[in-house]
Amino acid sequence: MTALSDFPITTKWPALRPDRIQLYSLPTPNGVKVSIMLEETGLPYEPHLVRFDTNEQYSPEFLSLSPNNKIPAILDPNGPDDRPLGLFESGAILLYLADKSGKFIPQDAGGRYETIQWLMFQMGGIGPMFGQVGFFNKFAGKEYEDKRPRDRYVAEARRLLAVLDTRLADRAWIMGDAYTIADIATFPWVRNLIGFYEAGDLVGIGDFKHVTRALEAFLARPAVVRGLDIPKRV
């Protein structure tokens, strides 16, 4: 039977609690999706910090589990058929943890697929586009004299926020009264856009009152507060 010790990643990040889900991550918008989900579900896990400042995401050990060299990744010792399972890609991990815990995704087929639809909306739209706004507003792209690339991504970010705001106009959360993985995926990115990326004024976040209301409710959840700081930076 395969054991966690058979996975090369555990040679660089040894599992002190091999009976628990192993989380390899960093507290970025994509990373905290999974730490928040783990905190919300109560599934036992052990976090490991993947340091970008020393390029650990490119190490052979990390690539053996996450070949796209992106965080987060997990290794579940108690996967399907009682065999260890490794996963990368935050959306896939959220779906797996929702199924494993039976939480934060509707149990009816229609509701499940609608939730997955909004998860894909975040993965394919909000994440990449908000990230481009961050690049052009705060990082290297800030120095570009030509502001057309920045303005293009700002306009797209506003369009996506408008879609989300309309969705939230008559409901507490993306799927209605129920808090789901769609929210866990989306709101870390909204928080990052107006916080770390310092782009709140640029995108006119005040125009999206339903988004900001839901973001405040999200950030008030105790599991979210904990998950936003996991793994702790050292």
pLDDT, position 148? 97
The 10s digit of each residue's pLDDT in 157-179 is 999 999 999 999 999 999 999 99
Which residue type does 156 have?
E
Give the residue from 8, 23, 19 showing the smallest Cα distance to 65: 8
- Quick one: which H or E segment has residue 227? helix 222-227
Question: 63 and 137 share a domain?
Answer: no
β pairing state of 45-49 and 21-25: parallel
Torsion on CA atoms 216, 217, 218, 223, rounded to nearest 10: 120
pLDDT, position 233? 86
Question: 122 and 92 share a domain?
Answer: no
- Asked if residues 23 and 40 have their Cβ atoms less than 8 Å apart, the reply is no
Which residue type does 175 have?
M
Provide the CA 232 distance to its chain's centre, in angstroms: 16
Is the entire prediction scored with pTM above 0.75?
Answer: yes
Q: How many domains is the chain partitioned into structurally?
A: 2
Question: 127 and 75 share a domain?
Answer: no
pLDDT, position 5? 86
Question: 69 and 30 share a domain?
Answer: yes
What is the rounded CA–CA span in Å between residue 170 and residue 113? 20
Residue 135 CB neighbour total at 10 angstroms: 17
Question: 149 and 174 share a domain?
Answer: yes
What is the rounded CA–CA span in Å between residue 120 and residue 162? 17
Q: For the chain (length 234 residues), average pLDDT per consecutive 10?
A: 84 96 98 98 98 97 98 97 96 98 98 98 98 97 96 98 98 98 98 98 98 98 98 87
pLDDT, position 1? 46
**Residue 52 domain boundaries:** 4-103
Question: 119 and 216 share a domain?
Answer: yes
pLDDT, position 2? 65
